[in-house]
Every structure is written in C-alpha cells, then in structure tokens.
Chain A
Amino acid sequence: MIVEAGAWTQAAAVLGAGLCIGLGAIGAAVGEGRTAEAAAEAIARQPAAAHKVQRTMLVGQAVAESASIFALVVSVLLLFAARPSPSLLQAAALAAAGLCMGIGALGPGLGAGFAGATACTGIARHPKAATSVTTTMLVGQAVAQTPAIFALVLAFLLLFATPSQAGPLLPAAAALLAAAVSAGFAAVGSGVGSGLAAAAACDAVARRPRASGLLVRAMLVGQAVAQTPAIFGLLVAFLLLFARPGDSPLAPLPAASALLGAGIATGLSAVGPGLGAGVAAASACAATGRRPDLSASLLRTMLVGQAVSQSTSVYGLVVALLLLYVV
C-alpha cells in the first residue's frame, strides 16, 4: 500500500507540474505579445521616443512574466521537493497545487500585458510623461498580479501543509481540488479586470500627467474592488482546506460533490464580477483623466456600480457556503 501511495504521489506531482506551467504560460505570453505589438506600433508612430518605449516595454514584460515565473516555481517544487511520507491525500494536494497556480496565472499575466501595451502607446503620444507613465504601469501591474499571488499562497499551502486525513479519502481529496478550483478561477477575472484598470490609468496619465496622483488613486481603489471576487475565492479555498468532511452526515460521494460544487460555484462566479468591476474601474480612470475636477463623484459612481455588479459573485459565495455548511 505504501508503494502504491508513493507511485500515486509521484504521478500527481508530475501531472500537476505539467498542468501548472502549461496553463501558467498562456496568459503572460499573450499579454507580453500584446505589449510588444503596442511597442512596435508606438515606435513606428514616434521614432524619436524609441528608447523610452523599448525600455518601458522590457520592464513591463518582465513584470507581466512574474505570473508565469510563479507557475514555474510551483512546477519545479512539484517535481523536485522531497516527500518523506507520501499518501493518497497528498497526491490529491499536489495535483490541486499545480491546477491552482496554472489557472491562477492566466488572468494576471494577460492583464499586466494590457497595462504594458497602453503604457507604450501612451509614451509615444507624450514622450515627456514617460517616467510617470512607467511608474503608473509598474504599480498597476504589480497590483494586478495580486490574484496570481493568492493562487501562489494556496499552492504553497497545498504543497507543504497537506492536512491529515480524517474520515474517507474521497471527500478529503475533493475538498483540496475544490480549493484549487476556487482560488484559481477566481484569480482569472480579477487579474484581467485589474489589468484593464491599470491600462486605462496608464493611458490617462499619458494624456494628463499632472493628474497622475488622482489617477493612481482611482486605479488602486478600482483594482482593490475588482479583486474582491479573488478574495472570495481565496476565502472559500481556506474554508475548504480546513473543512472537516469526515463529520458530514452525507455518504462520501455526495459529500465530495458538495465540496467540489462549493469550489466551482465560488471560482466560476468570480470570473465575471472581477472582469466587470475592472471594466468599471478602467472607465472611471479614463473619465478622471478627462475631468480631474469630478474625480470624487466619479469614484463614488464607480464604487456603487462595482458593488452592484459584484452581487453575482456574492450569490456564488452564498451557494458555496450553503454547500459547505448546510447541505
């Protein structure tokens, strides 16, 4: 039995590693390509600013790449970290870690790439504002990566802190996979959404560098709200990690399905609201750039609109909590 558990653990580790870097490479690659495309266009339009555009492109791409570097870290840890006491539950945890980081890196990589792209375009439009555009881009991209970092935290927990098994294997394993699905998918929408907000802020800073303080603030507030769904996903993932499926009155199969359903409900219901709140934040940034004098009223409108658009992710959260604690 011990040999079998070891084989399963190893199999799950290599499978998880493949999933992790395979999925994790997609978003950052597309986003960085978009940055390069915008940089090429920008240089064609404004050849005199070529150096500035190239520098911003490289820095922006390096930051966008963080998401897939996180996926690489998890992959390599899955492949090479020593596991003295393998178990079937650990096998599930390892596969879940890979899945979580892989999906979680999709959105933030893509979103950070969008921000890099508009920064390059903006510098071509207004080369003198290059420093403040690049700074805004870096801050915006860094915050847009927060959902990927949530996924990284969860993947680390799954890698190094497998909970001890109490009760049947199936629900316990399902809880770990559900945690991965919840945190992973919840990062997608929030990552792209906060990337869009950062992109709009870069564009607006290039148009009106003097309002950069207001713009960065609007961007940060908007991104913070756009990341609420990702926080829901992480929250449910933690609840799932510490759930005690052994106490459930249900038979193992329905109990496992309920846990998995909770993860899917939270994760998928967070994709749309994260993206939507990001779109709202993006247009709030653009509007603040046009009319800095109205920034307080714009910010208020954005917050109320985002709160309403996020009610759908609250529905997902409520269903997840029902599945976890009531059913």
Chain B
Amino acid sequence: MDAITEVAQWVLPVGGREVHLNATTLIMSWGVMAGLAAFGLAVSRRPALVPGPFQSVAELLVQVSRDLIAETLGKRGPRYFALILTLFVFILISNWLGMVPFLEEPTKDLNTTLVLAVIAFLTAQAAAVRAKGWRAYLKEYFQPFAFMFPLNVIGEAAKVVSMSFRLYGNVMGGSIIILVVSHLVHHLVLPPLLGAFFGLFVGTVQAFVFAMLTLTYISVALQE
C-alpha cells in the first residue's frame, strides 16, 4: 500500500542545484504525445475518400468538436479550436492509460494537471486582452467596486487551482480505489471492471469537463 505516495524520480545536477524530474510522469506523457502525433500523421498522410476506421474516428472528433466550439465562440472559434481539442485528446488518452497494466496516467501527477490548467488560464487571459485591450481588461478587476480588486484576483487564480485539482483528484481517486480493491480481493475480477469505470467513464467525463471549462472561460473572456 506504500505505492500510493511513492514517486519515482530522476535527480539531475544542474549548475550546483538538484533538479527533480518525475520519471513515470515524463515517460508516460511523452508516450501519450508520441502516440497522438503518430495517430495524427497516420490519419492525415493519405486521406482516403472512403475513410478507414482511424480516419473515421479522427474526422468524427474534429467535426463534433469544431461544431461545439463554433457554437460557443462564433467566428473566433477556429483560433482556439486546435488548443481545446488538443487538451481534450491529451487528457482523454492520459486518463485511459491507467487501464493498461504497468502504465500510469500522467494526469495522476499534480504537476501535469497544474501546467494544463495554467495553459488554459493564460489562453483565456490573452484572449481577453486581445479582445478588449489592456485598459478594459484591467478595469474588469475593479468591478463592481474598486475594493473588490484583491478578491477578483484571487477568484481568477482560484480557477487554476480548481481546474488542476479537479482533474488530479478524480484520476488519483480512481487509481486509489483500484489499488485498495486490488489489495482486498487479490487482483481477481473486480479491479479491471473498476478500471473500466474510472478510466473510461470518469476519465472521459473529466477530460470533457476540462475542455469545456477552458472553452467557457475563453468565451467569457471574449465577451465585454
């Protein structure tokens, strides 16, 4: 049961200091990225008129998400389409990875989810500045009253905390439940079924929630 808090680390000396890298997270997230890049290349290299199974999946994914984003963002949709779909697919595959034996979800590491939330947050802030200009952007922090400024800043920063911890907590929770149940029933039938529930179902829902929150925050930032 000690595996819960155990983290495999590489320690690199850089300029007299130690840099700690979470080995499992790094390998797994680069694995997910490589897999997605390979999938993208394989699908787009020779697009057929009558799509094969992979191409159908990719086309469906692009079409559905493009419609959904266009519905919310209107003509500004295409600018943010790639980012939002990438976030969704990366988190989705990351969450599914835990179902494969010996592999772990990169999203089980708070560092991963924190960086993803920071990316989403900065995109929304940049969108707001771009749409309204610095003056109007800064003015919003003093609404409805000037003394609300510190609270508005905390409220904005809380978005990063809540997005990252929501994803992390759900993925971590799923894997802890599976670990405890495996320990109790000695790796009989139950753990794979639980893995399917938490990986496939909760993992998909949380990936969708993350992408939708990014989309919503961007669309709120674009409105005056």
- Shortest CB-to-CB span from B163 to chain A, Å, is 8
Q: How many residues of B contact A (CB 8 A)?
A: 38
A70 interface residue (CB < 8 Å to B): yes
Given A70, A235, A307, which contacts B169 in the complex, CB threshold below 8 Å? A70
A224 interface residue (CB < 8 Å to B): yes
Contacts of A221 in B (CB 8 A): 220
- The reply to whether A62 and B162 form a contact with Cβ atoms under 8 Å apart is no
- The reply to whether A213 and B205 form a contact with Cβ atoms under 8 Å apart is no
A81 touching B4 in the complex, CB below 8 Å, given contacts A76-B176, A153-B161, A217-B220: yes
Interface of B (DSSP majority class): helix
- The reply to whether A146 and B162 form a contact with Cβ atoms under 8 Å apart is yes
Question: Residue-by-residue, is A216-250 near B (CB-CB < 8 Å gives 1, otherwise 0)?
Answer: 11001100100110010001000000000000000
Question: Residue-by-residue, is B194-224 near A (CB-CB < 8 Å gives 1, otherwise 0)?
Answer: 0000000110010011001100100110010
A76 touching B180 in the complex, CB below 8 Å, given contacts A63-B209, A139-B209: yes
- The reply to whether A72 and B177 form a contact with Cβ atoms under 8 Å apart is yes
- Shortest CB-to-CB span from B92 to chain A, Å, is 15
Cα A9 to Cα B110 with chains together (Å) = 26
Given A135, A138, A228, which contacts B155 in the complex, CB threshold below 8 Å? A228
Instruction: State which residues 113-155 of B face A: CB under 8 Å.
Output: 143-145, 148, 151, 154-155
Contacts of B35 in A (CB 8 A): none
Cα A264 to Cα B180 with chains together (Å) = 35
- The reply to whether A73 and B165 form a contact with Cβ atoms under 8 Å apart is no
Cα A66 to Cα B162 with chains together (Å) = 12
Contacts of A228 in B (CB 8 A): 151, 155
Cα A59 to Cα B169 with chains together (Å) = 17
Instruction: State which residues 47-103 of A face B: CB under 8 Å.
Output: 58-59, 62-63, 66, 69-70, 72-73, 76-77, 80-82
Instruction: State which residues 152-204 of B face A: CB under 8 Å.
Output: 154-155, 158, 161-162, 165-166, 169-170, 172-174, 176-177, 180, 201-202
- Shortest CB-to-CB span from A220 to chain B, Å, is 6
Cα A224 to Cα B148 with chains together (Å) = 13
- The reply to whether B216 and A139 form a contact with Cβ atoms under 8 Å apart is yes
- The reply to whether A138 and B154 form a contact with Cβ atoms under 8 Å apart is no
Cα A81 to Cα B5 with chains together (Å) = 6
Cα A221 to Cα B161 with chains together (Å) = 17
Cα A70 to Cα B165 with chains together (Å) = 10
In the complex, residue of chain A having the shortest beta-carbon distance to the beta carbon of B202? A62
Count chain A CB atoms within 10 A of each CB in B143, B165, B177, B219 and give the residue with the most: B165
Which of B's residues lie within 8 Å of A, judged by CB?
1-2, 4-5, 68, 71-72, 143-145, 148, 151, 154-155, 158, 161-162, 165-166, 169-170, 172-174, 176-177, 180, 201-202, 205, 208-209, 212-213, 216, 219-220, 223
Given A62-B201, A227-B158, 4 additional A-B pairs, CB 8 A: A59-B205, A142-B166, A213-B223, A231-B154
Sample of 16 A–B contacts (CB below 8 Å):
A62-B202, A63-B209, A66-B169, A69-B169, A69-B173, A70-B173, A76-B176, A76-B180, A142-B166, A142-B213, A150-B162, A153-B165, A213-B72, A217-B219, A231-B151, A307-B145
